[in-house]
């Protein structure tokens, strides 16, 4: 077998290199981590590069040298953020794998909709920490902890607005029963909550409900589920179909006093509709680990200034223990690729994930 050229455009550890190279002796892996930082800095908003790049990271080598690396690559192992100009500079490229789970991360680049096979780490990310964040957010609002800063600012303790809830027996609607949604269901069920959810793919004949779920419904049943749910966890992929999924109509049918938690993508929640729902006291609060335009600028001031809204900088997947398994899925797919077998987690451009 001829040499298979793999280009890693984010750093790979020694352990990751060993695992990748162990898949087959034909593999030649080039670690170009940091080489493209200057291009990334030029192509992405300052708000993004300040977070994801070291302050003095400006790339390595010349444009010609980076072009030469791309020109020989058959497979690229990417991350986030990534160089936006790849397809035209990588004529031999057949497969691109991105370490993150969200397909929407790739919308800015020239691979979207191209003839290159693109896979993600959907279902293999730090799903348990994200689920813990979701449960923590539920408890934060259920116990009225969002009132703490209000009392601190006013220097007056007032127990009446806290109105704590018992979450045992309450219903949570999990939108998207993928890797994150399934872990959310398990944790919420473990504390005695009733868990319902939506999933695009219906249960196959004989397929059991995922652990933790009491019921799983098609997306068309969402509004009915919102009407009976005390908490709503947005865990689905951002696609054209899910853009503004939680909008004016969804808030109108949502159970009064519900809590919204979004750990997916900001564009799934219509923020104007959320502001209105808060102004009209339709919901108790919202926890947003993501928001519209989070790669470009700070959150909407109307939300950021509201004590009933908790906004965090996309940190729900963080923890002291990384359980991200991007290299697991990449190595499994690499073995399948070399054998001519189908790959898992291939992005369907029409579906958007």
Q: Where in the chain are the domains?
A: 4-124+324-339, 127-311
Question: pLDDT tens digits for 120-139?
Answer: 999 898 999 999 999 999 99
Fold category of 127-311 in CATH: Rossmann fold (3.40.50)
- pLDDT > 90 fraction of the chain, expressed in percent and rounded: 91
Low-confidence ranges of the chain (pLDDT < 70): 1
* Residues listed for the chain: 353
CB atoms within 10 A of CB 64: 7
- CATH fold match for the domains 4-124+324-339 and 127-311: yes
In words, the CATH class of domain 4-124+324-339 is: alpha beta
What are the pLDDT digits (tens) for 95-123?
999 999 999 999 999 999 999 999 999 98
Active-site residue identified among 265, 284, 324, 325:
265
Q: Is the separation of the CB atoms in 236 and 242 below 8 Å?
A: yes
User: 324 an active-site residue?
Assistant: no
Q: Exactly one of 17, 140, 302, 314 is catalytic; which is it?
A: 314
Average pLDDT across the chain, whole number: 95
Global confidence as pTM: 0.92
The residue among 46, 20, 58 whose CA lies nearest residue 66 is 58
Cβ neighbours for 59, distance < 8 A, ≥ 6 positions apart: 34, 35, 36, 37, 38, 39, 40, 41, 66
Q: What is the pLDDT of residue 324?
A: 85
The tally of CA atoms less than 13 A away on the side-chain side of residue 329 is: 24
Tell me, yes or no, if 284 is annotated catalytic: no
Cβ-Cβ contacts under 8 Å for 245 (sequence gap 6 or more): 175, 222, 234, 236, 268, 269
pLDDT attached to residue 69: 97
Cα 267-298-256 angle, rounded to 5 deg: 50
- Containing H/E element for 302? helix 301-304
Q: Is 265 a catalytic residue?
A: yes
* Candidate list 5, 267, 271, 294, residue with the active-site label: 294
Instruction: With CA atoms as reference, report the closest residue to 68 among 78, 60, 57.
Output: 60
Q: Measured in Å, how far apart are the chain's first and last C-alpha atoms?
A: 32
The reported pLDDT for the residue numbered 1 is 64
């Amino acid at each position: 077998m001829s040499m298979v050229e793999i280009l890693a455009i984010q750093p790979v550890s020694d352990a990751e290199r060993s695992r990748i190279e162990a898949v087959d002796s034909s593999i030649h892996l080039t670690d170009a981590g940091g080489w493209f930082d200057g291009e990334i800095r030029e192509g992405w908003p300052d708000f993004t590069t300040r977070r994801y790049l070291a302050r003095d990271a400006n790339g390595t080598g010349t444009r010609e040298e980076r072009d030469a690396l791309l020109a020989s690559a058959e497979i690229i192992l990417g991350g986030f953020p990534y160089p936006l100009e790849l397809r035209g500079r990588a004529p031999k490229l057949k497969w691109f794998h991105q370490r993150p789970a969200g397909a929407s991360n790739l919308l800015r680049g020239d691979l979207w909709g191209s003839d290159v096979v693109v896979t993600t780490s959907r279902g293999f990310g730090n799903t348990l920490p994200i689920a813990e964040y979701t449960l923590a957010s539920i408890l934060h609002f259920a116990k009225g902890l969002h009132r703490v800063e209000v009392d601190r600012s006013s220097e007056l303790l007032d127990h009446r607005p806290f109105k704590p809830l018992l979450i045992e027996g309450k219903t949570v609607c999990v939108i998207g029963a993928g890797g994150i949604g399934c872990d959310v269901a398990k944790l919420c069920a473990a504390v005695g909550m009733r868990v319902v959810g939506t999933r695009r793919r219906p249960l196959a004949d004989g397929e059991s409900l995922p652990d933790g779920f009491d019921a799983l419904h098609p997306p068309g049943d969402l509004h009915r589920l919102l009407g009976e749910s005390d908490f709503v966890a947005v865990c689905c992929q951002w696609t054209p179909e899910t853009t503004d999924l939680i909008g004016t109509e969804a808030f109108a049918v949502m159970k009064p006093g519900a809590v919204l938690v979004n750990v997916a993508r900001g564009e799934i929640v219509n923020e104007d509709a959320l502001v209105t729902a808060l102004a009209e006291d339709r919901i108790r609060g919202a926890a947003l680990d993501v928001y519209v335009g989070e790669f470009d600028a700070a959150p909407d001031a109307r939300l950021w200034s509201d004590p009933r809204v908790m906004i965090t900088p996309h940190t729900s997947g963080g923890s002291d223990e990384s359980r991200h398994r991007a290299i697991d899925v990449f190595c499994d797919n690499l073995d399948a690729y070399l054998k001519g077998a189908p790959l898992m987690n291939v992005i369907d451009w029409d579906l958007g994930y």
